[in-house]
Amino acid sequence: MFIIESPIVEKKILQDNVFLLKMHSPEIASVIKPAQFLNIRVSSESYPLLRRPFSVCDVEGEHIYLLFNIFGEGTRILAGKSSGDLIDILGPLGNGFNLNDDYETAVIVAGGLGSAPFPFVTRELNDNKEIISFIGGRTSKDVITYGMKNVFTASDDGSSGFKGSVVELLNSKIEELQKKNIKVFGCGPTPMLKALKEFCVKHNIVCEVSAECAMACGFGICQGCPIESTNNSEKYLLVCNDGPVFNVRDVVI
C-alpha cells in the first residue's frame, strides 16, 4: 500500500463514454493483483474531496490501466486529464480474485462497468485456464468487451447479442457449463450480482464476486463500506479491507 503519483501515458476513448487510462506505475504494476483497486485523488482542491476507488483494469509491464465512464464530478475531472498529467494513487487496496484454485474453466460474468477488472483477469489466466466471458449492459453502448476472450454478450434491448440480462444469458448455457469444471468470477451492478448469486447457489457453482460500495478511505479506517456477512450477523465485513472480492456465499447481496 503506497501513495504515489503516476503519469498518464495514454488516454483512449474505447466507446461512448468509456475511457481507458494508461499510467506508468512500476511500483503498483509489480504488486497488484486482479480485482484489487486503487483509490485515486482526482484533484488537490476540496471538491471533489474524497478519493475515488477504481478497479485495476489491466497491467502490462510497468504500466497499469484504468477503465471508467463519466459518472460524476470526479470521473469528469479524470476524463479531462491528458498524457503527462500525474495521478495521485493510493493502493493497491483490497484482496483480489483467487485465480489459482482447482477449476478448469473461468466463467467471467460482467455487467456494464463491471467489465473493468477482467482484462487483467484474462491476461493472468491466459494459457492456464479456459475462459468464457459473458458481458452484459443495458444497450450495446454499455457492453464493454475490451481485453476479453471468448465473449458472449447480452443487452436489455437486444442491441448487442442476447436480449435480456447477462445472468439469463448464462442460464441459457447452463447445460454446456455443467459439463465443465468451472468457477464464476462476477462484477457489476448489485441487481446483477444478486441474480448471479441465486444462479450459482441454485446450480451449485463456485463463484467469487467483486462488490461495490461507497468508500471514503479505501483501507479500513472510516468504517464507511459495510457489507452484511452470512456467517456472522453481529458484525459487518468491510468491502475495502475484507473484499472487494467475496465468495458469493459469504455475503448478503
Binding site for another protein (CB under 8 A): 1, 3, 41, 46-51, 90, 213-217, 219-228, 234-236
> How far is it, in rounded angstroms, from Cα 40 to Cα 43?
9
31 vs 49, which CB is nearer to ligand FMN?
A: 49
Q: How far is the CB of 240 from ligand FMN (least distance, A)?
A: 13
Q: In the set 4, 105, 216, 230, which binds ligand FES (CB under 6 A)?
A: 216
118 vs 246, which CB is nearer to another protein?
A: 246
Give the distance, in angstroms, between the CA of residue 187 and the centroid of all CA atoms in the same chain.
5
> How far is it, in rounded angstroms, from Cα 228 to Cα 194?
13
164 vs 224, which CB is nearer to ligand FMN?
A: 224
| Interaction between residue 225 and ligand FES (CB under 6 A) | yes
| Interaction between residue 191 and ligand FES (CB under 6 A) | no
Sole window of 44-52, 107-115, 154-162, 210-218 interacting with ligand FES (rule: CB under 6 A): 210-218
Q: In the set 74, 218, 243, 244, which binds ligand FES (CB under 6 A)?
A: 218
Identify what 240 binds: ligand FES, another protein, ligand FMN, none; CB under 5 to 8 Å per kind: ligand FES
Q: How far is the CB of 222 from ligand FMN (least distance, A)?
A: 4
Q: How far is the CB of 139 from ligand FES (least distance, A)?
A: 32
Instruction: Give the residue nearest to ligand FMN (CB).
Output: 222
20 vs 225, which CB is nearer to ligand FMN?
A: 225
Angle of CA points 57, 134, 108, to nearest 5°: 55
33 vs 52, which CB is nearer to ligand FMN?
A: 52
| Interaction between residue 223 and ligand FES (CB under 6 A) | yes
The residues that touch ligand FES, with contacts defined as CB under 6 A, are 215-218, 220-225, 238, 240
